Amino acid sequence: MKYMVFAIMLVLSITANADSYESEIDLFFNLYKKGDINAAVDSIYRTNPYINSIPDQVKNVKTQLGAVEGLVGKMHSLERVDTYSVGKSLVHITYMGIYDRQPIRFEFQFFKTNDGWRVFSFSFDAEVFDKIELLASERAFKSK
């Protein structure tokens, strides 16, 4: 019985660890959609204690993210575009937010430590169409 409980706890901890970066992203977007920009940014960076050493950059991210809605309007939908894994310890997740004026790309990079997943990088930009144009051109000339 002891071994059964231990095995179940082990499986649950592995499952929780495996999905933790997704729950961090979900929390970020839930806070962001409510308009709580500072809490959203703090939530995504809380997984990495080394972020505390760059408070000016975190403040800049909060300011820029807070200005997005004023520039491109209200967010209407959010789509997960891609998840790219490198081995079992690094993941790059791309989301696209659809706003009144244009889409905004959100990118998250997480790496896995012994303590779980930590954010390595978070970014957002309006360069979605530049990337699509580049990929479409490559595809068009590759197939000919």
Q: Over pLDDT 90: what percentage of the chain?
A: 69
Domain hosting 74: range is 2-142
CATH number for the domain harbouring residue 111: 3.10.450.50
Report the C-alpha gap between 102 and 68 in whole angstroms: 11
- Strands 90-99 and 75-86 turn out to be antiparallel
What pTM, to 2 d.p., does this model score?
A: 0.80
| Residue 105 predicted with pLDDT over 90 | yes
* Residue 126 vs residues 65, 101, 132, 141: alpha-carbon distances, Å: 12, 11, 12, 25
Number of domains comprising the chain = 1
Tell me the pLDDT tens digit for each residue of 49-104. 998 889 999 999 999 999 999 999 999 999 999 999 999 999 999 999 999 999 99
Q: How confident is the model at residue 20 (pLDDT cuts 50, 70, 90)?
A: confident
